[in-house]
Structure formats: C-alpha cells, structure tokens
Amino acid sequence: MKQLSREEQALSQRPDAVAMLAEVQAWSAINTGTGNLPGLEQQAAALADAFSALPGEIALRDPAPVEVVGTDGTVSQKAHGSHLVLSVRPRAQRRFLLTGHMDTVFPTDHPFQAQHWLDEHTLNGPGVADMKGGIAVILAALCAFEHESAAAANVGYDVMINSDEETGSLSSAPLIADLARGKAAALTYEPSALPDGTLAGARGGSGNYSAVVTGRSAHAGRNPRDGRNAIVAAADLALRLKHMESETLSINPAKIDGGSANNVVPDRAVVRFNIRPKGEADAEHFSRIINGVIAEIENEHEVSIHLHGGITRPPKPLSPEAEKLFGLVRECGAALGQDIRWQASGGVCDGNNIAALGVPVVDTMGVRGGAIHSADEFLIVPSLAERAALSALVLHRLSGGQ
C-alpha cells in the first residue's frame, strides 16, 4: 500500500466540512424534482456560481429531445432542464470525467421538502445524499486537487451535472456519451451502496417501454363481438411479459392505461413495463423475442401494438480496467484509513452509460447515507469531507502524482 506523501496529506486535509455542509443545505432547500424546470434552473445557476471556483469554462447545455407516450397512446415531447458542464484543460492528453445530477425524485407537491437533524452527525432532507451531497464532494475534491496537486496541471477533466438522471437520463444520454469518449477514467457521485461506504460494482441494465395497443370500439351490449378489446390484449401482453422472465432477466409490467365507460369495448390501452437484464446477452435475447410475442398477440386479439422505448441503461459488468480503477480507489481509501469494498447492485445510474463506452468508472463515489428516494433519506455528514479527500487522492494518483 502506498503511504501518503506530504503533498497527499495536504490534499486530504484541504476539504472544508463546514463549507460543504452549508452548500448541501442550501442546495437541498431548492426543489429540483426532475419536472420542476424553474427549480432546476435556480439550482443550475447556483452550481455554476459554485463551480466558478475552478479553472475552465462552464456552460449550460440544452437537453436532447425526449418523446413520451401519454395515457391515450399519443406521443409528445417532454421538456427537461439544462445540464451543467465544466471543461478544464480540454487539450490535455489525459482527461477524466466526473458526473453527478441535480434532480431529485421529489416534485414540488411532495410533502418531503425540509431538512432536520436525526442526530449530531445525520441530516435528513431531500437530495442530501442523492445527490447534492455528491455534488459538494465533486467540488471540494477538485478544489483540493487543483490547489494541492502539482500533477493537476498536466491533466484535464469534464464535470457534468445533469438534470434528468432520476428519470433515466434520456435528455442527457447523448451528452454523457460525447463527454465520456476518450476519457482515461470516470467517477460518478451517486451515494454509496450501503451506509458503511460500500461501493456498487457490477450493475445490471434497465429498459423502459410503453406498448400502445389499438383495438376497435363497440357497444358492450348491442354488438360486443364487433369490438376488439385493447385492455384484454394489454393484459395478455402483461402476463406474457412476466412469463418471459429468467434468473438473469426480470420484467415488471408496471401499469396499464386505457378504457372508459363500462358499456364501451375499449379500443386503446398502454402497457408500461421495465426490464432488468443482468448482462448484454439477456438484453439481446429480450430484443430478439419481444417482437414475436407482440405479433402473436396482434394476431390472436386482432389488434395492433406499437412498442416505444428501449434499453436506457446498458448492463455494466466489471471489466479488467474497471477492476483496476476500483483497486486504486481501495488503495487510496486504505491510505486514508477508509475501508473500501464493493458489491454488485441491482440499481442503475449514469455509470452504466459511461461503462458502455469502454471507460472504466466507479459510480458510487458520493457520500455515505441511505433511504434514498424516500422521506427518510439521510446524509452521514462526516462523509462529506471523508469522500472529498478520497476523490482528491484518487485524482492525484490517476494523474501520476506521488
């Protein structure tokens, strides 16, 4: 294990825990549910101001167009917030990518909007762990890296804070792909997989779909046989999807929209479902057979089905390069007195998208906390400075500094 040099000791001591906590509390007070565009705009402005402490250029990037399927089966465009990008030394030969997200799962009408202390070290509040705490870690780590590591001048990096991670990063996926290409390594600041700081290693994939079923309307009493019941066909599809599951592919039929009065044969329904393939072969298998299943239902029920959506998070196995990066994080943790471990996770994040481009990534470099996506979400406050010191040291050693 490499011990800390004098330069590395300065790196690990620089993060200001008091300032980081103040940032998290100020940012948590801004509602940034993925659909709250004014809140996201306010948060982006606050982040642009905070990250101006670093060298480089800050830009707000427009979201890519995203189609959504309504309850009536019609397709429309959904608006998203802008994404913040900081680019530092873009001409450096060796560059890294650090990513986070400013959105949360709590819309403006959600009852969970305020913070309170659970004990002297634990803060409960919306987004404090997922992931406004993680954004504070990015900023503090990079400030330490820039001010204390001589190696920083020889490398470059991009920081991307998107506004739609909680809904699948559909409007930021092209930006993530563009920024990830050619990077030596990436760090993503989702909270740790467990409150003890355990990281997420391999991840499965995720895909979201909407199947629009079109049948034929008729009177349920006078001429029901002239109708083609879209809800019955939709229910058949939901059952068949569930029967397609295997040990390495889970499928969750989540919702069926459609129907009207009891005396009308429904002519429109929408089946929404999510799939979780553990590996790329499972994703490919689903893609090969789903069209055949749909064709059978169309034939048997005399309806038409149009499938929207796809795999938004490719499976993320641990490549040899990724294992090497995890090893470096563990080595740095040990030098700081932090026991770093990792385990496979059923969740997905932007790390899936980055890894799909062949870039090694550790995607749970954020704070220790837990109960995310619930009103019980909490941040273990000492982990702010702890994780910032870890990232600063990882960046230093990735850059060849000793």
For residue 90, CA distances in Å to 68, 93, 156, 216 come to 35, 8, 6, 57
- The DSSP-derived string for 230-286 is HHHHHHHHHHHHHHT-BTTEEEEEEEEEE---TTEE--EEEEEEEEEESSHHHHHHH
Q: Is the pLDDT of residue 226 over 80?
A: yes
393-397 average pLDDT score: 98
The total number of residues written for the chain in this structure:
402
For residue 292, CA distances in Å to 23, 206, 212 come to 52, 21, 16
pLDDT per residue as tens digits for the range 268-304: 999 999 999 999 999 999 999 999 999 999 999 999 9
3-state secondary structure of 49: helix
Structure token pair of residue 394: 């990882």
Structure token pair of residue 95: 């560059």
Architecture of domain 206-313 in CATH? 2-Layer Sandwich (3.30)
CATH 3.30.70.360 location in the chain: 206-313
310 band by pLDDT with thresholds 50, 70 and 90:
very high
165-176 average pLDDT score: 98
3-state secondary structure of 290: helix
Architecture of domain 6-67+77-204+316-398 in CATH? 3-Layer(aba) Sandwich (3.40)
pLDDT per residue as tens digits for the range 234-278: 999 999 999 999 999 999 999 999 998 999 999 999 999 999 999
* 67 DSSP β-pair partners: 77
Q: Is the pLDDT of residue 401 over 70?
A: no
pLDDT score at 102:
98
pLDDT per residue as tens digits for the range 75-128: 999 999 999 999 999 999 999 999 999 999 999 999 999 999 999 999 999 999
Q: Is the pLDDT of residue 360 over 90?
A: yes
Q: What is the dihedral of CA 17, 23, 26, 31, to 10 degrees?
A: -120
pLDDT score at 3:
78
Distance, in Å, from the CA atom of 36 to the CA atom of 270, rounded to the nearest integer, reads: 25
Q: Which residues in 259-381 belong to E strands, given as ranges?
A: 264-265, 268-277, 304-313, 342-345, 361-362, 369-370, 378-380
CATH 3.40.630.10 location in the chain: 6-67+77-204+316-398
pLDDT per residue as tens digits for the range 13-58: 999 999 999 999 999 999 999 999 999 999 999 999 999 999 999 9
Name the burial class of residue 288, with classes exposed (0-12), middle (13-18) and buried (19+) by CB atoms within 10 angstroms of its CB: exposed
pLDDT per residue as tens digits for the range 173-213: 999 999 999 999 999 999 999 999 999 999 999 999 999 99
Residues of 69-105 as b/e, b for ≥16 C-beta within 10 angstroms? beeebeeeeeebbbbbbbbbbeeeebbbbbbbbbbbb
State residue 317 phi and psi, 5-degree precision: -75, 165
